[in-house]
Amino acid sequence: MHGDTQLVDHPHLAISVQDHFGLDQLHLDLSVPSPSDLALGQVGVKLGYSALNYRDLMMVEGHYNPRQPLPLIPCSDGLGRVAQTHDGSSWHLGQRVIPIFSQTWLDGEPNRLLTKHTLGGPLAGTLRRYGEFNTDGLVAVPDYLSDAEASTLGCAALTAWSALIELGQLKSGAHVLCIGTGGVSLFAAQIAAISGARVTLISRHEDKLDWVMKHPNIQAYKHLITPLHTPSGTQWGRLVRKSFGEVDHIIEVGGAGTLGESLQVVKAGGTISLIGVLAGGGASIDLTPVLMRQIKIQGVIVGHKAGMQRMLKAFTAHQLRPILCDKEFTLTDVDEAFQYMKAAKHIGKIVIKH
């Protein structure tokens, strides 16, 4: 990590990518502006936690948007406490809040402009101790969640919720396939389970599957979630179909690298929610099954504030808790956290304590 180590205890410490992209370009820096410059319609937030998403890694390495202006403070997920407001604000000092991913997408259909207001690129992200956010760009944190747990909900959880509930209209008794043991997939498994759906959770890492199925946050839904070890990695379509038959909805986090496998498993008229590109984005795919079996492939770009509020209400009703990576990181070893994600050593959400 580059930068002035004397800034470690500074209340405005931030982590930024400076002149060039790359994990080796992360710097200790200070966020601006200062609290005294709070603009009208903004809320000053003392940030206590961030959580990593694969998008953050791609952004830091320059793969998500090579034309992203630098310097940039990364990360889209976070939690903080209100530190400064204007008179008449709906927020009060000390209140726990989560900044939403797209600061201007409050409800309704997406548009091209919403991507210009997303945290962690192009807007400054959450890897800082103090930030200013739109008054409407925050949601309140349910009391039952810890700070670390709540910091993971803005992107991965909302993406899974949007895919299955807001867009997918998931019904009780449906069969959902979740790929891997990352944040989106595990949130999707839990959301499907509280909706009364059956879940098949696949991974090429048998030890990760075992760890997840023994996790206390999964135990309440264990009767609805069936793990399947897929030792051949991305070649799992036939194995899943042979073991469980066709499924109604697939949370596709692998992108083009695994979409062909998903097409082997999804039923006629079923849905594939295309969320990530973990297995690569350049594979050649036969799209004939999409036409012949009327398969719906939907892209999912996180979600809006109204959807997040509905999600938090459902989470509270079921006391759903995120599954966190058991390795802890701080702002001063963020580079190690990114490397840990890049090496796919994590399970669930990687959290950064500020």
pLDDT at 179: 95
Single pTM value for the model: 0.94
Q: Is the pLDDT of residue 219 over 90?
A: yes
Q: Is the pLDDT of residue 279 over 50?
A: no
Structure confidence by residue, pLDDT tens digits, 200-216: 999 999 999 999 999 99
Furthest C-alpha separation in the chain: 62
Q: Which alpha helices (DSSP H) does 22-155 contain, by range?
A: 54-61, 147-150
Structure confidence by residue, pLDDT tens digits, 299-338: 999 999 999 999 999 999 999 999 999 999 999 999 999 9
Q: Phi then psi for 219, rounded to 5 degrees?
A: -55, -40
**Rounded Cα gap, residues 274 and 131, in angstroms:** 31
CATH class of the 2-154+303-353 domain in this structure: alpha beta
Beta-carbon-side half-sphere exposure of residue 152 (alpha carbons within 13 Å): 24
Q: Is the pLDDT of residue 92 over 60?
A: yes
Q: Which helix (H) or strand (E) holds 212?
A: helix 206-213
Structure confidence by residue, pLDDT tens digits, 109-147: 999 888 899 999 999 999 999 999 999 999 999 999 999
Handedness of CA 251, 319, 154, 328 (dihedral sign): negative
- Residue 232 three-state SS: coil
CATH architecture assigned to 168-299: 3-Layer(aba) Sandwich (3.40)
Q: Phi then psi for 252, rounded to 5 degrees?
A: -95, 100
**Rounded Cα gap, residues 149 and 145, in angstroms:** 6
- Residue 348 φ/ψ region, left for φ over 0, alpha for ψ in the -120 to 50 degree band, beta for the rest: left
**Rounded Cα gap, residues 259 and 205, in angstroms:** 19
Q: Which residues lie below 8 Å from residue 347, measured CB to CB, with a gap of 6+?
A: 181, 182, 186, 208, 211, 212, 323, 325, 326
Compute the C-alpha angle 293/297/299, nearest 5°: 175
Q: Phi then psi for 83, rounded to 5 degrees?
A: -115, -20
Span 210-232, average pLDDT: 95
Between the alpha carbon of residue 72 and those of residues 15, 45, 120, 156, the distances in Å are 8, 18, 7, 21
Q: What residue segments make up the domains of the chain, in order of their start?
A: 2-154+303-353, 168-299
pLDDT at 33: 57
Q: Is the pLDDT of residue 283 over 70?
A: no
Structure confidence by residue, pLDDT tens digits, 141-163: 999 999 999 999 999 999 999 99
The separation between CA 124 and the C-alpha centre of its own chain, rounded to angstroms, equals: 17
